[in-house]
């Protein structure tokens, strides 16, 4: 496995693989890898001859008061995990490598979808995500790119960006990997105190309660939302948002629901901002 920091050596290595007729899958990450990331890598191995994993904590997707400086970083541990999975290339650039002219003046933004859900409190976040993912697509030129369904909004936005800009890449979503008690695996879970860690699974339990009601025939949006909210509030969790949206466009769903939907939520639990979602139908 090659660990590459600079852009030109990356391009040289990947060009030779392309010339050999090999397919490439990209797994973009910010490092601090856990089993959720490794599931993405395994899926990438299933669909392509070669796998490239990027590890880059992207400053563009952090707001001024967010956790860019303290975001967990452990490149040596990440590299060992990826080597054990047979990853071919790890691209681990510095901020200077990715933004050599300093603060990027160019942004790639999927406008409407980036202003709802998490975008209301993180107004610059998704433009940072789509800008860096566009750069990675340009550098790697993958046939496939693999993302987790835990951040459904991000996955939907990237799919729309690929369609709008005609990127020749197939986007693959991988179901959320969870702890035994249902908490979605996340690098930010390590911010949770022991007490908050006990409360955090209520986020998913609330979503499951709504899903169970939906499966039993409930189609009123407010009833489903109140059922989920009640479980969360019992654990002392006040959701930042809790909404039922169209899985593709992220637009609010009408009531009663007449087609499959996605329930999405975010909440501060102690020192961690957690996100989760679940399918309805």
The binding site for ATP consists of: 30-37, 148-151, 177, 185-188
170-174 and 144-148 as β-strands: parallel, antiparallel, unpaired? parallel
Please give the annotated binding residues, written as ranges: 30-37, 61, 148-151, 154, 177, 185-188
- Asked about 37 being catalytic, the answer comes back as yes
Please give the annotated binding residues for (R)-pantoate, written as ranges: 61, 154
Complete DSSP assignment for 222-238: HHHHHHHHHHHHHTT--
Which residues have C-beta within 8 Å of that of residue 107, sequence separation ≥ 6? 60, 127, 131
Q: 10, 27, 29, 37: which one is catalytic?
A: 37
Contact (Cβ atoms closer than 8 angstroms) between residue 192 and residue 269 = yes
The DSSP code for 61 is: G
Rounded Cα distance between 268 and 133, Å, is 26
Q: Token digits for 196?
A: 């908050």
Rounded Cα distance between 247 and 227, Å, is 20
User: What element of type H or E holds 49?
Assistant: none
Q: What's the burial of 195, exposed, middle or buried (CB within 10 Å: 0-12/13-18/19+)?
A: exposed
Please give the annotated binding residues for beta-alanine, written as ranges: 61
Q: Token digits for 223?
A: 């009833």
Give CA angle at 167 (112, 38), nearest 5°.
Answer: 90
Q: Token digits for 43?
A: 């899926």
Residue 181 CB neighbour total at 10 angstroms: 12
Rounded Cα distance between 66 and 89, Å, is 30
Catalytic residues: 37
């Amino acid at each position: 496995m090659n660990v590459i920091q600079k852009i030109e050596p990356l391009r040289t290595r990947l060009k030779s693989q392309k010339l050999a007729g090999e397919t490439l899958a990209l797994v973009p990450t910010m490092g601090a890898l856990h089993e959720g990331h490794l599931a993405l890598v395994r899926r990438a191995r299933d669909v392509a001859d070669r796998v490239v994993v990027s590890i880059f904590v992207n400053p563009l997707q952090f707001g001024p008061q967010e956790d860019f400086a303290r975001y967990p970083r452990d490149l040596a541990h990440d590299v060992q995990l990826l080597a054990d999975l047979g990853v071919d290339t790890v691209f681990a650039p510095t901020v200077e490598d990715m933004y050599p002219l300093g603060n990027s003046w160019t942004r790639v933004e999927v406008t409407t979808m980036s202003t709802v859900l998490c975008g209301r409190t993180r107004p610059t976040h998704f433009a940072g995500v789509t800008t860096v993912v566009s750069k990675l697509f340009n550098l790697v030129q993958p046939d496939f790119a693999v993302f987790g369904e835990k951040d459904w909004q991000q996955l939907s936005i990237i799919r729309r960006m690929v369609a709008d800009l005609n990127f020749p890449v197939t986007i693959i979503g991988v179901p959320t990997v969870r702890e035994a008690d249902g908490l979605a695996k996340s690098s930010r879970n390590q911010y949770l105190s022991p007490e908050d860690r006990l409360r955090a699974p209520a986020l998913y339990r609330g979503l499951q309660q709504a899903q169970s009601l939906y499966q039993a025939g409930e189609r009123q949006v407010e009833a489903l939302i109140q059922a989920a909210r009640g479980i969360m509030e019992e654990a002392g969790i006040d959701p930042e948002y809790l909404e039922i949206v169209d899985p593709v466009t992220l637009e609010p769903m009408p009531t009663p629901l007449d087609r499959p939907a996605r329930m999405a939520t975010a909440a501060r639990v102690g020192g961690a901002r957690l996100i989760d979602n679940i399918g309805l139908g």
